[in-house]
Each structure stands twice: as C-alpha cells, then as structure tokens.
Amino acid sequence: MKLNQKGLLIVLSGPSGVGKGTVREALFRQKSHDLLYSVSMTTRLPREGEVHGREYFFISPEEFKERIKNNKFLEYAEFVGNMYGTPADIIEQNLQDGKEVVLEIDVQGALQVKAKMPDAVFIFIAPPSFQDLKNRLLLRGTEDDENIQKRLAKARRELDFAPAYDYIVVNDEVNNAADRIMAIIRAEHAKCSRSLEGYFRLLEEEDEQE
Amino acid sequence: MKLNQKGLLIVLSGPSGVGKGTVREALFRQKSHDLLYSVSMTTRLPREGEVHGREYFFISPEEFKERIKNNKFLEYAEFVGNMYGTPADIIEQNLQDGKEVVLEIDVQGALQVKAKMPDAVFIFIAPPSFQDLKNRLLLRGTEDDENIQKRLAKARRELDFAPAYDYIVVNDEVNNAADRIMAIIRAEHAKCSRSLEGYFRLLEEEDEQE
C-alpha cells in the first residue's frame, strides 16, 4: 500500500574516496525498489562511448547559463573549465511521477541541494576508518603519496559536514551499506510527515464509497 | 558496525482491533534483530499458567503505589479495578545494555510514554480501511453489533492522534507490516542524531592507536 505517492530524492554523499559510486551501484542492483539515477548536465564534450542522457546531458555553455539564470539547477560547479549541474526540473518531474531519484554528489554539492530541497533524504556515506580510506586511495593507484595525504586531510574536513545530514551509513561492506540505504528509503516513506495525508485521503475515499 | 550502542524503545500503538499483537508477534519471529518485549506490571493476580516476568510482573498494590510515587512508570492506568504500568527503570536498563525494547500499547498510553521518552520511536499501526477493522472485530466474534459500532467510533477518534507519531505502518498484511517496522528500526539507528557521536568516537580511537 503506497501512501506517499511522491518519490523521494535520496542524496548519497560523503568524503571523496569513500566508495559512493560502488555503494550506489550495489543499491541499484537490489531489485526490491525502483530507483532512478539523476543524470547531471555538463558543458564538456562527450567522450567516446558516452551517451547523452546516460552519463551526462551534454549541453552548450549558453544553455547552461540560461538554466542557471532560470534557477533550474539544484547545484552546479565548475571543474577544470567545464560546468556540471544537477537539473532541478527533471528531478522534480520524476519525483512527481512517484520515482525515487538517487543523487550521488560530493559534500559541497549536497549542502547546496539541501538549501533548495530540505525534503530530500541526506545520507552521509562514511569510511569505517581513515586507514580504510587510505587503503582505498592506495588501491586505486592513481595518486602519489602527497596527493593521498591531501585527500585524506580533505576527507577529514568533509566529516565536519556530517551533522547536516539525516543519516550516516558506514561503508564497511558495500552490500551492507546498500541494505541500510534501502531500509532508510522504506522508513522515510513510512514517516507520518510524508504519508499521513495520503492515509487520511484513503480513508475519505472509503467513506465516500459507502 | 554498531555506532549507536544504546538500544531503541520502539512503541507499537494504534486503534484497538488493528492487530498490534499479531504484528508484534510477526516482528519477533524475524531473526535478523534481537528484540525484547517490555513486560508490564500489574496488581491483578496471576491466572493459571501465567508466569511472573513473562505475561506480567505481578506486584502488590502497595508496591505499585510506591513505584508511582518514585516516578518509575512510563505510563500506568487502571482497568477494571486493577493497575497496569510500564516499568521505566527496567526499560532504561535494557536500553543502556543495547537491547531494543518493544512496547505494545494503546494510543492513550503511547502519548504518556512520549511525554517521558521523546527519544523513543513511535509507530502508529493503522488499519488499511475501516471495513477491514470491522471485519477483524467481527472475526473475533467476541462482541455484539452495538459494541463493534462503539469500537469503530473509538478507533476513528484514535486516528486523530496519529500525527503525534513518527511513523505510520498500515497493517495490510502482517509480515509486510513487520518488515516495515524492521526497516524503521534499522533506519533509526542510522540517524545522525543517534549515531554520529559514536562514529566520531570510533575515529578518535583510531587516531589514538596510531
């Protein structure tokens, strides 16, 4: 019985290197719930194999500016000369259609989203320890020692933002983390603040039928 | 990884006839989580087969009064000449020991508990429809038409208290309802307000070990 007809915006965030992407993939492998991944918009050109609307919506810098002007981004940022943004209008439409939208985003972006969508569910994905985070960064093998130290220091600073989130999910094991997120989604739908109105509407319909 | 060492007090409540007891039993059949049922205290005498500490703690009227005076009940009420109460001290000890305590209680009692334990998780178990509630009462076969009408009217009034709860769980199917409650318990433990402190403590311990 679905009392809350509107979908949830689920914001997965946390320090860089924590494994947000892997957790998100594990979450999408669970078949119990239909989730929709929020595709970002960017002004950078598509790389080979990238599909418009799958990896990104590829739009022109003019279009991007126009969307900023019209307040059509939940958040946006520049990264090495290109713009990246989370489209507010597409997400809002999907939520209205009852779809659960999952947004995977860094800590700065999540705080911007919170300012515009306080109703969203903010989940902080945290490393089980800094040693674990360091191991992850080492395993990637893409960065030297100095950069790894920099990223760890950045991760520590990003932890300061955890209290702004609703939930903390420790990524001790990726499927465990995904299970916890599924439980959070189910529980959020059961919240009186989201579902009581729908329940009372249901009872009213019953009364009218009599 | 258990960040929140303290147990949760889970208050299952809702209109009479909704099937709180059946949902609670289904919840306790789930093996995924260790739950503890809060046993009430009463001044009535044990019936045959009843065991002190299982169905009730059977105590004397003097003891009951003494406990009221010492604020040792989360709630209490008189019912056909006997006193019934929820022991605050036993519950608090179990929560401190990390046990999840489940309290099954009527709407009036739940509101009293909320005043004393705002941290508890309040779940309103609701009927899928009034027709369903009526069918349940008819199935019990213990009451005549007039009494059923009275109970339905009472249930409608009790619905007014639903907004005081954190969650609404419709008892459309007993195992579904139990699943939703399990999801709520998991999600509540992941709340930043309950678990962030434990997480930061964990990281501090790591730092000290280095």
> Could you report the predicted ipTM of this complex, rounded to two decimals?
0.90
Q: Is residue A129 part of a domain?
A: yes
Taking each helix axis as running N to C, give the angle between helix B130-140 and helix A192-209, from 0 to 180 degrees, rounded to the nearest 10: 80
Q: Is residue B92 part of a domain?
A: no
Higher pLDDT, A206 or B166: B166
Residues of chain B with C-beta less than 8 angstroms from the C-beta of A170: 1, 3, 199
Is the Cβ pair B3, A170 closer than 8 Å? yes
Is the Cβ pair B165, A128 closer than 8 Å? no
pLDDT of residue A210: 64
Chain B CA closest to residue A4: B168
Max distance between CA atoms of chain B, in angstroms, equals 72
Overall domain count for chain B: 1
User: pLDDT-based confidence at A32, cuts 50/70/90?
Assistant: low
Give the CATH number of the domain where residue B183 resides. 3.40.50.300
Q: Is residue B181 part of a domain?
A: yes
Q: Is residue B168 part of a domain?
A: yes
| Chain A closest-CA separation from residue B169 CA (Å) | 6
* Nearest by Cα to A74 from A85, A62, A58, A59: A85
* A186 vs B181: CA distance, rounded Å: 9
Q: Using an 8 Å Cβ cutoff, are A185 and B191 in contact?
A: no
User: pLDDT-based confidence at A15, cuts 50/70/90?
Assistant: very high
Predicted TM-score (pTM) above 0.95:
no
Q: Is residue B160 part of a domain?
A: yes
Q: Is residue B51 part of a domain?
A: no
- Strand A56-58 relative to strand A100-104, pairing: unpaired
Is the Cβ pair A168, B124 closer than 8 Å? no
For residue A15, give its domain range.
9-38+99-209
- What are the tokens at B25? 């039993």
Would you call B65 helix, strand, or coil by DSSP? helix
| Chain B closest-CA separation from residue A166 CA (Å) | 6
Chain B CA closest to residue A130: B203
Question: In sequence order, what E strands does chain B have?
Answer: 9-13, 35-37, 40-42, 56-58, 73-79, 82-87, 100-104, 121-126, 167-170
Q: In sequence order, what are the residues at sequence separation of 6 or more whose Cβ sits closer than 8 angstroms to the Cβ of residue A147? A: none
* B187 vs B167: CA distance, rounded Å: 12
Picking from A168, A183, A187, the nearest residue to B195 by CB comes out as A168
The whole-number average pLDDT for the span B131-146 is 85
- Burial grade of B54 (CB within 10 A; 0-12, 13-18, 19 or more): exposed
At A50-62, the pLDDT tens digits run: 999 999 999 999 9
Q: Is residue A118 part of a domain?
A: yes
Q: Is residue A67 part of a domain?
A: no
